[in-house]
Structure 1
Amino acid sequence: METRHLHYFMAVCEELHFTRAAERLGISQPTLSQQIKVLEGEMGMPLFDRIGKKIALTEAGALLKDYAARMIQNEQNAKAAINELRSDNRGIIRLGVLPSDLDYRLTPMLVKFHADFPNIRLQVFASTLIQQEVLENKLDIGICLPGPRDSMLTQVDLGWEPYHLIVREDHPYAAMSHIELSLLQQIQLVMYPRTYIGRELVENTCLEAGFGLEPIMETGSATSLLQLVKAGIGGTVQPRGLLEGMENSGLCSIPILNTAPCRNLRLIYRADRFISHATHTFISSLRRFLIDNLRLEDGAQNP
């Protein structure tokens, strides 16, 4: 069995269309069909049911697909390991984070990592489908909320972080040492759109307490939210550490008591992928930074 046959087979599995798979591979459709027939002859069983112009995996095809995916991943791991030996720590690390404040707060750590590994290209993507995109090799590492456990992933619980009310220093509530969740009904708020994970966490906590939120303004940028709060448009409900490191921000952060919104964070990457030395270093640096600078509480759940 040749590796190229497995690549051809996987392309057809993903496209379920010989012409589209051939275009993707850069070969002709008759050549692809012939190579799949060679593979089927070697397997001794058909791998696809051909129904008119449509195709579907046979039981043998579905079985081979699982093994082929692992074999191709091992091939990629071997190439990556050898490339690292001759690359002087070059390469790309693709990091996925939730579309919220995390990319904004990670900047100091990214700057330091670049100083230590100037030849590594770092790419940070905001996504709500981090686990899926790590599994599909679209991302190397992800920081996300806990999801279903998957044997294909290494998943590290980082801890949990409560949300606070952030207001301007001259806001009527600014002098309060804490507030009750129910008081959020009485405050004009600026928030992320409902499609954002952080907004959903806050919204769901409020709904469980018997009320909903009607923000006066919505924006998808942490920087914009803080600027709106500074302008006196309203307060916002964000993770506790968002204001840390900001000098003379003119804002204050007020804890929310009794069933405060909180988020659990998890670091994930594929368990079967080759992890370069630089990526291992990045993961270690990322874990330390998140725990030390986001002041995450120990454990995966809010006690």
Structure 2
Amino acid sequence: MDIRQLEYFIAVSEELHFTKAAERLGVTQPTLSLQIKALEEELRVTLFDRIGKKIALTEAGALFLEHSAQIVRDLQNAKDSINDLREYRRGSLTVGALPSDLDYRIADLLIDYHAAYPNIKLKIVTSIEIANQVLGNEVDIGIGMMPVYDDRLVAVPLRREEYVVVVSERHPLADLESIELERLRHIPTVMYPLGYIGREQVEVECRRRGFTLQTIMETSSATSLIRLVKANVAATVQPGPLIETMNDPALRCIRIADGAPSREIGIIYRVDRYLGHAARAFIDKTIRHFKRP
């Protein structure tokens, strides 16, 4: 048994089709079939039930898949660890981030990281589904919303942030320091579309009070949303610290006095993923960045 056979077995398990798995691996179907047969003979079990052109994992196959996937991950982690040792301060890192935070929150973090590690190729991917990106190995590390409910993930809290009502300096409410959540029932707002985590955090709290936001316009762009507020189209409800980082004199933040919605931001990565020096350094800088006043 060798690692190539395990990779072949995993591919067939994922595709549940020998021809598709062979195409994916770049081998012929007879070669793939022989390797799986050799594996079954060595283990002395049947890994796949073959029903006509369809196949399915047997109970033994499902058990072997779990261990095979772990072995392949461990080998990849070992390779990554050795490469990290050999190519210290070199390599690449892919980070997932919420669009609004990328636009307004973490630019200074990226500048600071690049100054310390100029040879690391850093790629930032925006998404509202950070945990799924991490689980799918689309990104090495995610900066997203907590909590996460998956044993395969590690989530390191960064900070909890209360939402505030954000208006233009020309808005009728601009001079208020605080506002009751109930008043949002009658205030036109511009918000992210329904389904976005940030929007849902606010809507959940409103529904508890028996109403939904009076949203007159939706946009998935943080930049557009802020421009609409500055143009006095309507108010919005966003995390206070995020708005404060903009340092824009045309915006006013009004504290929600009674049970403000809140969000918790954290760093997310896979339990079984090897984190090299570049990744660990990014995590350390991110923690310190979010702890700043």
Tell me by how many angstroms 1:215 deviates. Answer: 1.3
Tell me by how many angstroms 1:131 deviates. Answer: 2.3
CA shift in 2, pair 1:90/1:4, >3 Å: same
Provide, for residues 25-60 of structure 1, a one-character-per-residue CA deviation record: whole Å limited to 9, x for no partner. 111111111111111111110111111111111111
- Residue 266 (structure 2) aligns with: 266
Q: How does 1:178-197 map to 2 (within 5 A)?
A: 178-197=178-197
Structure 1: segments with no counterpart, 5+ residues: 294-303
Structure 2: segments with no counterpart, 5+ residues: none
- Residue 291 (structure 1) aligns with: 291
CA distance in 1 between counterparts of 2:32 and 2:266 reads 42
TM-score (normalised: structure 1): 0.91
Tell me by how many angstroms 1:145 deviates. Answer: 2.1
Query: Which secondary structure state, in structure 2, belongs to the residue aligned with residue 118 of structure 1?
Result: coil
Query: Which secondary structure state, in structure 2, belongs to the residue aligned with residue 163 of structure 1?
Result: strand
Query: Which secondary structure state, in structure 2, belongs to the residue aligned with residue 27 of structure 1?
Result: coil
Query: In the alignment, is the contact (CA less than 8 A) between 2:131 and 2:142 conserved in 1?
Result: yes
Q: How does 1:134-153 map to 2 (within 5 A)?
A: 134-143=134-143, 144-150=145-151, 152-153=152-153
Tell me by how many angstroms 1:154 deviates. Answer: 2.2
CA distance in 1 between counterparts of 2:203 and 2:43 reads 54
Query: Which secondary structure state, in structure 2, belongs to the residue aligned with residue 264 of structure 1?
Result: strand
Tell me by how many angstroms 1:214 deviates. Answer: 3.0
1:176 aligns with 2:173: no
CA distance in 2 between counterparts of 1:22 and 1:289 reads 47
Identity of aligned residues (%): 50
Amino acid at match of 2:231: A
Amino acid at match of 1:284: D
CA distance in 2 between counterparts of 1:169 and 1:272 reads 49
Higher mean C-alpha displacement, 212-221 vs 174-183: 212-221
Provide, for residues 156-205 of structure 1, a one-character-per-residue CA deviation record: whole Å limited to 9, x for no partner. 22231110011011211111110000111221211101121101111111
CA distance in 2 between counterparts of 1:147 and 1:231 reads 36
Query: Which secondary structure state, in structure 2, belongs to the residue aligned with residue 246 of structure 1?
Result: coil
CA distance in 2 between counterparts of 1:85 and 1:125 reads 26
Query: In the alignment, is the contact (CA less than 8 A) between 2:49 and 2:57 conserved in 1?
Result: yes
Q: How does 1:128-167 map to 2 (within 5 A)?
A: 128-143=128-143, 144-150=145-151, 152-167=152-167
Tell me by how many angstroms 1:274 deviates. Answer: 1.5
Amino acid at match of 2:255: P
Amino acid at match of 2:149: P
- Residue 112 (structure 2) aligns with: 112
- Residue 236 (structure 1) aligns with: 236
CA distance in 2 between counterparts of 1:84 and 1:246 reads 36
CA distance in 2 between counterparts of 1:64 and 1:249 reads 61
CA shift in 2, pair 1:275/1:21, >3 Å: same
CA distance in 1 between counterparts of 2:283 and 2:223 reads 26
Q: How many corresponding residue pairs?
A: 291
- Residue 102 (structure 2) aligns with: 103
TM-score (normalised: structure 2): 0.94
1:48 aligns with 2:66: no
